[in-house]
Amino acid sequence: MALKVVKSASHYRETALDEVKLCQRVAVADPTHAGHMHVAELLDSFEHAGPHGVRTCAATSSRAAYENARRFVLTRLPLVLHRGRMTRRVHGV
């Protein structure tokens, strides 16, 4: 599971609420679509009131978070590290 906590400034909160609405619409979309596995599955969203304001929080599935992190790491490694032992280590993360 990944937890996203957004800054309390109003423009950040508005963007986060739009993202939550989008994720809720994707949740009812066709799960057989080719791109479905690349979209984070929204598990829950909530607001947290703290000393620095109200923050919007969203919990997403780890499947999409893992795929996005793996893609991020692999696209920034030199080509030499893509093959062989290093790739197996990155996949183990």
One digit per residue, pLDDT tens: the chain, 93 residues? 778 899 889 888 899 999 889 888 888 888 888 777 777 788 899 999 999 899 999 888 766 556 666 666 656 555 454 455 445 555 554
CATH number at residue 25: 3.30.200.20
pTM for the structure as a whole: 0.59
Domain range for residue 35? 1-60
Q: Distance between CA atoms of 48 and 93, rounded to whole angstroms?
A: 30
- Indicate if 46 and 74 belong to the same structural domain: no
Place of tokens 């957004």: 6
Short-list 57, 1, 69, 65, CA closest to 37: 65
- Indicate if 46 and 77 belong to the same structural domain: no
